[in-house]
Structure 1
C-alpha cells in the first residue's frame, strides 16, 4: 500500500509540474496578449505633478515585436511629433524643426515627452521575453487576483536599460498587474501599476497604466486606453521614416 501511495504521489507531482507553465512561458503569454500579431490604439497620457498636470493625446501602431509607431495628436504644440521603432533602432520626427533624429541607446532611459515613462517603455525597445532570464519567485495576490511573482534579470549580451525587473502576472488571465524596475545597483527606479481591467479589442486587459518614480512618489504618469484593436492589417512599409513624417 505504501508503494502504491508513493507512486500515486509521484504521478500527481509530475502532473502538477507539467501543468505549471515556466516563468518564461508566463511572461510570453502576458506579452502576446497585450501585443497580438499587430495592434492599433488611441490613448491619453496624463503627467501629474504636485502643482500642475499635462495631458497628451496619442495614437499607436505595432506589428510584432520589431515594428512600432507612436504619434502625438495633442496638445497643439506637440501635434505631429512621432516615434518609430524598427528592430533595435528608434527615430523621432519633430515637425517644429523639420528634423528626424535617431535615438542612441544611451537615451533609452531618459524621460519620454517629460513623463515618468522612459523612451524604452514607450517604444518597447527591449523585449521582456527575449532579453531577460526569468525565474518564478513565489506567488502573491494583487488587487484580489492570485498572481505569479517573476524575477527578470538581463541576459549578459542583452542591450537593456534595467538591472532587474520584478513582474507580477495574474494567474488566470495572464495580465501584467504590477512591474518594478531597478537600476544596475539594485535600486528601485519606477513602479508601474495596471488597473481598470475591462474588454479592449475583444481581450480582457488593463485600460490604465500608472508609473510612479521611486525617488519622487508625488509624481506620476497615467496612460488610459480609449481604443485598442488587434490583428489589424499593417504592412511593414507602414513603419518607415517617410511615413513617420506624414502619419496622421
Structure 2
C-alpha cells in the first residue's frame, strides 16, 4: 500500500512538473514583439539608473575620449554631466519628456535644443542628440513585428522590426533589433532613414553581470557610409533602481551641479 502511495505521489509530481514546463513554454511562445522589446528596454533602463561612461570617438586620423556621468528615470527624464576633457568639463544635458537643454558653464548659458537639431551629432560623436536622451520611446512610439529568428554571436535571437507611428517625434524610418531569447539582451540595432537606406549599425557586446542583471556594457555605433568612423561607449559603472526624485531633473538643479 505504501509503495502504491509513493508511486502515485511520484507520478503526480511528474505530471505537475510537465504541466509547468508546458505552461512556461506556451507563455514564452505567446510573447508579442512589443512584449519582447519592452523586456529588453526594461533590462537596460530599469525604473531608474546611474552610470559612469567613457566614450571613444574614432576617426581615420585621430581619437577623442570623453567621460561623463548620467542619471535616468524611466523614458521621461535624463541628465548627463561631462567630466572630461577639461575644456568641456561641466557641460550638462537635460531631458524632460520631449524637451532637451544644454548648459554651457564657460558662458553661463542655457540652450534649448529644438526638434530640428535632434539629429545633429552629440559632442562630435556618431551619436545624435536623439540617441543620447532617448527622446523616442522604442516601446511607445513604434509598431513592432517579429520578422524571424536567427543566431547572432552564439545567441538565439528574435529579429524585431520597429516602424514609428505616423505622429511620433522619431527621426528614423525603421529600426531592426536583434534581441536574445534567453535574457532579452539587445545585441545589435540597425537604423534606417525614411527611404529605408541603412544609416547606422550599432553593436552591443562585452556582456557582463552588473549586480541584479546581465547586460551589454559596450555600445559601438558605426556609420555605414563613413569608412573609419565609429563611436564606442563603455559603461565603467552602472547601478539600477536608484532613489532619485523628479525634481533632480530640473533646469535649476542642472545649473547648480558640480
User: What TM-score do you get using the length of structure 1 for normalisation?
Assistant: 0.92
TM-superposed CA distance for 1:141, in Å, is 1.2
Whose helix proportion is higher, 1 or 2?
2
Q: 5+ unaligned residues in a row in structure 1: which ranges?
A: 1-12
Alignment of 1:184-203 (within 5 A): 184-203=194-213
The ranges of structure 1 where at least 4 consecutive aligned residues each deviate by more than 3 angstroms after the TM superposition are: 13-18
Q: 5+ unaligned residues in a row in structure 2: which ranges?
A: 1-21
Quote the residue 2:16 is aligned against: none
2:155 pairs, out of 145, 155, 158, with 145
Alignment of 1:164-183 (within 5 A): 164-183=174-193
| Structure 1 Cα separation of the partners of residues 182 and 107 of structure 2 | 48
Alignment of 1:14-29 (within 5 A): 18-21=27-30, 22-29=32-39
SS in structure 1 opposite 2:86?
coil
1:209 pairs, out of 208, 219, 234, with 219
1:55 pairs, out of 59, 65, 78, with 65
Alignment of 1:64-83 (within 5 A): 64-83=74-93
Quote the residue 2:257 is aligned against: 247
| Structure 2 Cα separation of the partners of residues 16 and 174 of structure 1 | 16
1:85 paired with 2:85, answer no
Quote the residue 1:99 is aligned against: 109
| Structure 2 Cα separation of the partners of residues 78 and 118 of structure 1 | 18
| Structure 1 Cα separation of the partners of residues 100 and 166 of structure 2 | 22
C-alpha deviations, 1:183-220, integer Å up to 9, x for none?
11111111110010001243101111000001113100
User: Alpha carbons of 1:36 and 1:96: their partners in 2 closer, same or farther (altered >3 Å)?
Assistant: same
Which one has a bigger Cα radius of gyration?
Answer: 2
1:238 paired with 2:245, answer no
| Structure 2 Cα separation of the partners of residues 136 and 245 of structure 1 | 44
User: What TM-score do you get using the length of structure 2 for normalisation?
Assistant: 0.88
| Structure 2 Cα separation of the partners of residues 107 and 26 of structure 1 | 31
| Structure 1 Cα separation of the partners of residues 219 and 25 of structure 2 | 33
2:41 pairs, out of 8, 16, 31, with 31
TM-superposed CA distance for 1:244, in Å, is 1.1
Deviates more, 1:199-208 or 1:170-179: 199-208
Contact residue 201 and residue 227 of structure 1 kept, 8 A: no
Counting matched residue pairs gives 236
